[in-house]
Structure 1
Amino acid sequence: MKITKKSPEPFYYQGDKRIGLLLIHGFTGSPAEIRLLGDFLQQKGYAVYAPLLAGHGTSPEEMAKTNQEDWWNSVLEAYEFMKSEGYDQIISIGLSMGGILSLKLAMEKPLLAVIPMAAPIFVHDKRMAFARWIKYIKAYQVKGKKVDQIEENLASYDRTPIKCVESLHRLIKEVKHDLPRVHCPVFIMQGKRDETVIPESANYIYRHISSSTKEIKWYEQSTHILTIDQEREKVFEDLYLFISQISQ
């Protein structure tokens, strides 16, 4: 699948099926990281909407003015948009923080299914737990570069507001505590080589949700951003198969 030019803009594709797919991007990222997946699902006939979360796609300074409530409100607005477009059945698909927000959406709104991809319950960077103090020492953390194949598909920030890391930590803790409130079908997708999220997060989600229909799929060669890593075509096909089975 050809790599496309990155853009932080939201996108919406109308579909000829009755199911709407809501794609939610990750922390400091943008819909660019899920556009290839959106294009794939649109070609399968589905309506796809990938909103831009509050504070994202602009500047780190703008993001620093937002918190988890603002990001959550962006997801609620996107959900209501899909409803207003006539899609009564919605599946939420979220990458990284988007996976956490998708699980939260499943707790609060009717969903046909939820698909968290590389959703963080545990993270490699232990400094996250200390962000509420670190923010008084430094305002931003410079992010490292990823391999070219991934980097050229991103439209994300080169600096992370520490204040927002604190908000993300609170969001993860909230969703972790409330996982038993998830009852809809869940398809958990996780890369074994994830450099951001500890892969055990996937098992934790699986064990603590209340869904009777649930599955984990592991990707041996994939790092954090499953949607643009080397196994992305397999990721897309697995995701499509799950959606097809649920919709029947």
Structure 2
Amino acid sequence: MSVGCLCIHGYTGSPKEVQPLVEFLENRTAWEISVPTLPGHGDDLDLRGHYYQEWIATTELALLELLKRNDQIMIIGFSMGGMIAAYLTAKYKVDRLVLLSAALKYVSLPQMYKDIFAMVLGATQGTLGSNELFLRYQKKLKQTYIFSTLEFIRCVHFTKPYLEDIRCPVLIIQGKLDGMVPSKAANFLEEEIPSTDKEVIFLAKSKHLICHGDDKDELFNHVLAFAKGLRHSE
């Protein structure tokens, strides 16, 4: 039995958002792992003219490729990628679903500004330039095409109804310090998903970029333990 794993990054993001988890799994499993870049996304954003249907289609094609070669599938979705992952899980009846900081509640550009402002206030003079989180969001804010945020909202609206069709085991992980997706979003996901096998874990030290947070080792181990339900997952 072979296992395929699809990992989906978030809005305005890139595979780097989930790369630490991907590397952890690559070092401990024999899975085929696919991490597509959504159209208009990546290290340099070019969102103008791209629509949420393209984002979903890109991940769906990656999933179909994994299905050709693997007997079991697990999907991991981060932020907006979590909602796309939920849609694909419902449509294709995959075996396991992991939702990381899933954006059932909206990410907002004003909240990004608030987070950056808080980092500025908290940073000591001369250290802000080396703050990776600050630099990442500063770049995003400069490059984000404002109207593409409507596509993000449409993506969430389109995928949300499919939550009620998920029956496979589900692992929901949320950072308690997440200022972009409220922590209560994890509880809403738990309520919306009817699967009888689901678990919600809150990480005390993690913000939105949960795979890069102070609790990342705990997150990685939870995901690997959750995957033990897959046959021959190691």
What TM-score do you get using the length of structure 1 for normalisation?
A: 0.79
Residue from 26, 36, 57 that aligns with 2:42: 57
Unaligned runs of 5+ in 2: 120-127
Partner of 2:97: 114
- Name the % identity: 25
- How far apart in 2 are the matches of 1:124 and 1:50? 22
Residue from 63, 74, 78 that aligns with 1:91: 74
Unaligned runs of 5+ in 1: 1-16, 129-140
Q: Which amino acid aligns with 1:168?
A: F
Greater relative contact order (CA < 8 Å, ≥ 6 in sequence): 2
Partner of 2:185: 201
Partner of 1:81: 65
What TM-score do you get using the length of structure 2 for normalisation?
A: 0.83
- CA separation of 1:149/1:235 partners in 2, compared to 1, >3 Å: closer, same or farther? farther
1:220-239 counterparts in 2 under 5 A? 220-239=204-223
Residues matched between the structures, number? 217
Kindly indicate whether the alpha-carbon contact (under 8 Å) linking 1:153 and 1:228 is maintained by their aligned counterparts in 2.
no
Q: Does 1:33 align with 2:17?
A: yes
Partner of 1:123: 106
- CA separation of 1:247/1:164 partners in 2, compared to 1, >3 Å: closer, same or farther? farther
Shift of 1:41: 0.2
- How far apart in 1 are the matches of 2:22 and 2:177? 24
Root-mean-square deviation (CA, aligned residues, Å) is 2.6
Residue from 195, 202, 213 that aligns with 2:197: 213
Partner of 2:32: 47
Kindly indicate whether the alpha-carbon contact (under 8 Å) linking 1:150 and 1:228 is maintained by their aligned counterparts in 2.
no
Residue from 171, 181, 185 that aligns with 1:187: 171
Q: Does 1:22 align with 2:6?
A: yes
- CA separation of 1:163/1:152 partners in 2, compared to 1, >3 Å: closer, same or farther? closer
